Structure 1
Amino acid sequence: MARTKLPPTVRQRRLGAELRRLRENAELSATQAGELFGATQSRISNIEAGGYAVSADRVRALARLYGCTDEALIEALTQMTGGRTRGWWEEYREILPAGMLDLAELEHHTHAMRVASVIHMPGLLQTRVHAHAVISAVEPPLAPYEVEHRVSHRIKRQAVLHGDRPTPLAATIHEAALRMEFGGASVARAQLEYLLTMSEEEHITLLVIPFEAGAFPNSGQGIIYLCGEVPQMDTVQLDTDHGSEYLDTPPQLTRYRSTLDRMESLALEPAKSRDVIHRIAQTL
């Protein structure tokens, strides 16, 4: 039986979307671009849909055709060529939703991350036991083996924070998340202690928004902001009831950068944030 072609990842679709934006900015139709490039309209459309692997040389040629002179952007686009990245997450291809694999791939390639969380601890900073308690509580309930797959995937994602070149992470967590006792008091205490340990790493900035800060933007939704080679290549990931949602248009990126800036401005400085975490852990 022939193997079914895998759908493009969010990273492949993003490359295509950026090439489409360059074409539209040049006021060319896909048919016109194909004629100028020596390709069919369907080939241009497939490239822009992420369904056709394109080389770095072709990306540079398309960028020249579209009149793009932003060399940093062009270089960032060329780094996304070559098709699907065969990372550790591929072992979950037939097991977990595609959005989870897309997130792992984006985190693998990102240059820095900003996350904000209100009710849950950021996945990249969860202990295995805490993650198990959180994932076990989803609706509809997951089978035990499904829970284990999701927990192991979440823990493997955390590799980007370790090693010789860890990814810088700025995490803003509301006090409400610190006080949620997923798995009971002992699990919650161990989770807070782990947060304190990770907050001492040079590449991790941990900020706490205390209850007394009052109202704040985006109060009902967690955010993962993945920084690309250039700001135009940033990506926002949101968790929703129907799965992961990825945003990358310039207005969306501007909005969420502003949201994160505002949340961070309301948070305590790192040392005082650690004091809050330590104080809450002592009460458990």
Structure 2
Amino acid sequence: MGEKAPSPSSKRQPPTVRLRRLASELRRLRQAAGLSQDDVVEKTHVNIVTLYRIETAQTKPQLRTLMALLDVYGVTDETRADLMALQKEAKQRGWLHGFEANLLGQYSAYIGLEAEAQQAINYESLFVPGLLQTEDYARAVIRGVRPTAPDDENEHRVTARMQRQRLLEGDTPIRLWAILDQAALYRKVGSEAIMHDQLAHLAQQAKRPHITVQIIPFSAGAHPGMPGSFIVLKFGPDAPDVIHIDSMAGDLFLEKETEIQRYNQICEHLRAIALSPTDTAALLASLHRDH
């Protein structure tokens, strides 16, 4: 008699955003403590295979295992509470990570996910995408959006944004498809000089083989992107996409299959109505000359 086929319910479910964040943060804490996986195994007696599966989001750590890891990593009470909450809610899909949350200090929960993605499709209606911003443009945007925030906090965000751009470098950079409403290029952020440099930088980045830039012209009229900006993160064929929306309440992550399908359909529509990469390059060159 042949083996019984596994039931659909027995198949391993793809990791949720919460589980991915828990795994990423546990890796970061171990590395910050200067410990190898073998060191952790020796100190906690957690099985090396279990530790590997925890750090790659293949399994949720049991509470006692999580507590043992956090004891070795010497985390603060506040971080411990955040990670325990992630462990408890690890199977829940969809997540609003509020600005007041302190899981990663002043880093967004989005950064860790972006670092693991193979591709990002970024639609922006008002800004140049963060991965394509110059430092001066980023500083002007962050100060404009957060006028009451302390200068040092804003500078920390500028630094984090510049560090994120390392994803575009190296042998296996993230593949970025940026779609911008033309309005984002006409809004003066900072000075004329800042906009001049930003347009030149955008045009230069668009020439790179792993970066595609398209502009939706004013002549396209109303379109599905007008309700707001979003990013589709793609992790490969074995992991579902994650939709990220930067809202006034914080980082919103969408993971349901229907939501992913809807946003991917929107992306296809926006690509279709946007100028081709070649025509986009011509428009960027014209705008750069005007500035």
Same fold (TM over 0.5): yes
Q: Show the counterpart of 1:13.
A: 19
Q: Name the CA distance, whole Å, in 1 between partners of 2:239 and 2:58.
A: 16
Alignment of 1:116-135 (within 5 A): 116-135=123-142
Q: Name the CA distance, whole Å, in 1 between partners of 2:235 and 2:244.
A: 13
Q: Name the CA distance, whole Å, in 1 between partners of 2:17 and 2:52.
A: 15
Which whole-Å deviations, capped at 9, do the CAs of 1:99-138 have from their partners, x for residues lacking one?
x1x2111111111111100111111110100000000012
Is the 2:230–2:246 contact (alpha carbons within 8 Å) kept by the matching residues of 1?
Answer: yes
Q: Show the counterpart of 1:147.
A: 154
The residue type paired with residue 171 of structure 1 is A
Change beyond 3 A, Cα 1:78–1:262: farther
The question of 1:111 aligning with 2:121 is answered: no
The question of 1:190 aligning with 2:200 is answered: no
Q: Show the counterpart of 1:162.
A: 169
Unpaired runs of 5+ residues, structure 2, are 1-14, 23-45, 67-72, 74-78, 80-101
- Between the aligned residues of both structures, percent identity stands at 27
Unpaired runs of 5+ residues, structure 1, are 1-8, 17-52, 61-76
Q: Name the CA distance, whole Å, in 1 between partners of 2:52 and 2:136.
A: 44
TM-score, normalised relative to structure 1: 0.68
The question of 1:210 aligning with 2:217 is answered: yes
SS at match of 2:208: coil
SS at match of 1:137: helix
Q: What's the offset of the Cα at 1:10?
A: 7.0
Change beyond 3 A, Cα 1:54–1:131: farther
The residue type paired with residue 154 of structure 1 is R
Q: Show the counterpart of 2:29.
A: none
Is the 2:21–2:113 contact (alpha carbons within 8 Å) kept by the matching residues of 1?
Answer: no
Is the 1:132–1:148 contact (alpha carbons within 8 Å) kept by the matching residues of 2?
Answer: yes
Q: Show the counterpart of 1:80.
A: 57
Is the 1:56–1:81 contact (alpha carbons within 8 Å) kept by the matching residues of 2?
Answer: no
The residue type paired with residue 146 of structure 1 is E
Q: What's the offset of the Cα at 1:221?
A: 1.1
Q: Show the counterpart of 1:96.
A: 106
Change beyond 3 A, Cα 1:15–1:185: closer
Q: Name the CA distance, whole Å, in 2 between partners of 1:232 and 1:223.
A: 19
Which whole-Å deviations, capped at 9, do the CAs of 1:169-223 have from their partners, x for residues lacking one?
1110111001111002110110010001100100001111110011110313111
Q: Show the counterpart of 2:94.
A: none
Indicate the RMSD between aligned Cα atoms, in angstroms. 3.2
Q: 2:236 is matched with which residue: 212, 229, 236?
A: 229
Q: Show the counterpart of 1:6.
A: none
Is the 1:55–1:81 contact (alpha carbons within 8 Å) kept by the matching residues of 2?
Answer: no
Q: Name the CA distance, whole Å, in 1 between partners of 2:272 and 2:112.
A: 30
Is the 1:221–1:239 contact (alpha carbons within 8 Å) kept by the matching residues of 2?
Answer: no
The residue type paired with residue 182 of structure 1 is V
Change beyond 3 A, Cα 1:56–1:94: closer
Q: Name the CA distance, whole Å, in 2 between partners of 1:54 and 1:211.
A: 58
Which whole-Å deviations, capped at 9, do the CAs of 1:237-282 have from their partners, x for residues lacking one?
0011111100010000001001111111110110100111111111
